[in-house]
């Protein structure tokens, strides 16, 4: 594998430079003096920022984009072997690294690299941890899988020993990482277009845990099924958090204020007790806070600073994000695209003041919709009214015989009414006619369903 010498900046070309993670890594390397170029399908806010900061960005991926002075090509898992630029790189004998391999090498430049993994909650927890570190004034470098407004994007370049990043299990990419501290939030079935089954996923997380050095630390949710299988054979320190009082960190006496924000008593295994309050909704965020507090303790951040950081954390884009109000209807947007995430979001919504709860759901990929059809139907039934948009295909081309109408029928079989419309415009028209004052409307999914919320607020 090609090894980068970070003391000797080179010219790196990114295939798919506009991706949320790729653009962030490119931005960090620009700050470190590297020459950066790359390509993507179309302009975006992320590519425009890179161009402003000195990167050369091409739109459309073509062989002629590659110049002879390029020293290294970086590409994502989404890039197929028949990509013209990847083919050209091999023809020109330019070394290549995957995005994950590059990120793993970048981690070696920091004394304390932290990787946050899990099927759900990575972006929120990474942002929550980031806010605590910013409150502590430790000047971290941050790579977040979503836009976090306090840092003006998804990346922050600091000058300290701390590097914090998300660690995604898809295509086993996080196995290329080199963290000193690892967090595992949860392990469930997902990405079944890559993994064979839940055991295959669990094996991947176990291998991730084994990456941690002897003087490193794993922070893991003890509610994970048979968690001892994931921690077996580790030489590093293991810290647990979860619902059981036998965990190193647990929460009790969870209460919610008039706006649905939780407060809780943090219970240490040694009997010590502290009180924390959040400005994000849902019991799942109390659990994310436990992981964040455990990390802060490992980094010796004082409790009062941690409390201030948690209280000032207002969430990230597309995670129970308040979009605005229309005719007295509160509109929220959320990225949830897995049954567990949907349940967490809709349960959180129950603590938010409202008369009727509407959910507009856009399923994400045919593979996921088919794998969790029954679970999606049950989770969505927590809403009072359900509207389905067409499936967002993302990287997939084969429908597998699945459509949103298939999911609609499953929901109706449970005795719950469900509406399906083939266009966003039809959905918006229906909502305008049927939502009333004091209702709560959530647009939900990992695709472009957020456009519905934004279009409504402009009408």
Which residues form the catalytic set?
A: 122-123, 166
Strand-pair partners of 272: none
| Residue 302 token pair | 């004082």
- CB proximity list for 130: less than 8 A, separation 6 or greater: 140, 142, 144, 148, 150, 151, 156, 164
Please provide the DSSP assignment of 134-146 as one string: HHHT---EEEEEE
CA distance linking residue 336 with residue 345, whole number of Å: 7
Number of DSSP helices (H) and strands (E) in the chain, helices first: 15, 21
Q: Give the closest residue to 70 by CA, choosing from 46, 93, 99, 47.
A: 93
CA distance linking residue 321 with residue 337, whole number of Å: 15
Residue 364: DSSP 8-state: B
Residue 391: DSSP 8-state: P
CB-side neighbour CA atoms (13 Å) of 211: 27
Radius of gyration of the chain (CA): 22
CA distance linking residue 151 with residue 49, whole number of Å: 14
Check: CB of residue 118 under 8 Å from CB of residue 168: no
137 φψ region: left (φ > 0), alpha (ψ -120 to 50), beta (else):
left
What end-to-end distance do the CA atoms of the chain give, in Å? 53
Strand-pair partners of 241: 221, 249
Strand-pair partners of 255: 263
- CB proximity list for 276: less than 8 A, separation 6 or greater: 263, 264, 266, 289, 293, 306, 307, 310, 311
374-385 burial string, b = 16+ CB within 10 Å, else e? Answer: ebbbbbbbbbbb
Quick check: helix, strand or coil at residue 267? strand
CA distance linking residue 159 with residue 162, whole number of Å: 8
Sheet holding 217-221, edge to edge: 153-156, 141-148, 162-167, 112-117, 181-184, 217-221, 237-241, 249-256, 262-268, 273-277
């Amino acid at each position: 594998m090609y090894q980068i010498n970070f003391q000797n900046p080179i010219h790196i070309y990114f295939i798919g430079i506009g991706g949320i993670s790729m653009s962030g890594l490119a931005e960090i390397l620009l700050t470190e003096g590297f020459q950066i170029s790359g390509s993507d399908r179309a302009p975006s806010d992320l590519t425009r920022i890179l161009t402003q900061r000195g990167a050369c960005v091409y739109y459309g991926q073509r062989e002629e984009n590659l110049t002879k002075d390029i020293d290294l090509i970086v590409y994502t898992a989404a890039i197929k072997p028949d990509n013209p630029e990847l083919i050209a790189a091999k023809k020109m004998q330019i070394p290549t690294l995957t995005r994950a391999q590059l990120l793993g090498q970048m981690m070696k430049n920091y004394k304390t690299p932290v990787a946050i993994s899990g099927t759900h909650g990575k972006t929120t927890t990474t942002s929550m941890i980031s806010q605590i570190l910013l409150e502590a004034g430790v000047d971290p470098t941050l790579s977040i899988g979503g836009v976090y407004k306090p840092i003006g994007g998804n990346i922050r370049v600091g000058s300290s020993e701390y590097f914090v990043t998300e660690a995604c299990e898809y295509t086993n990419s996080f196995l290329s990482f080199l963290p000193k501290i690892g967090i595992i939030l949860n392990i469930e079935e997902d990405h079944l277009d890559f993994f064979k089954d839940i055991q295959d996923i669990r094996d991947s997380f176990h291998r991730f845990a084994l990456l941690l050095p002897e003087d490193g630390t794993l922070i893991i949710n003890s509610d994970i099924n048979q968690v001892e299988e994931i921690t077996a054979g580790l030489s590093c320190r293991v810290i647990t958090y979860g619902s059981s009082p036998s965990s190193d960190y647990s929460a009790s006496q969870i209460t919610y204020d008039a706006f649905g924000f939780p407060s809780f008593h943090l219970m240490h295994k040694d009997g010590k007790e502290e009180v924390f309050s959040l400005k994000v909704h849902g019991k799942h965020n109390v659990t994310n806070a436990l992981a964040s507090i455990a990390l802060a303790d490992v980094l010796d951040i004082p409790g009062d600073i941690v409390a201030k950081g948690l209280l000032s954390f207002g969430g990230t884009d597309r995670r129970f994000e308040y979009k605005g109000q229309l005719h007295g209807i509160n509109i929220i947007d959320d990225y949830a695209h897995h049954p567990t995430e949907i349940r967490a979001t809709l349960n959180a919504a129950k603590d938010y003041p409202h008369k009727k709860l509407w959910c507009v759901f856009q399923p994400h990929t045919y593979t996921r919709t088919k794998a969790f059809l029954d679970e999606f139907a049950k989770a969505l039934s927590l809403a009072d009214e359900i509207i389905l948009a067409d499936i967002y295909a993302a990287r997939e081309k084969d429908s597998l015989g699945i459509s949103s109408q298939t999911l609609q029928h499953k929901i109706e079989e449970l005795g719950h009414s469900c509406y399906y419309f083939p266009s966003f415009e039809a959905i918006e028209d229906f909502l305008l006619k049927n939502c009333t004052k004091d209702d709560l409307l959530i647009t939900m999914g990992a695709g472009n369903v957020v456009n519905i919320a934004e279009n409504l607020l402009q009408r």
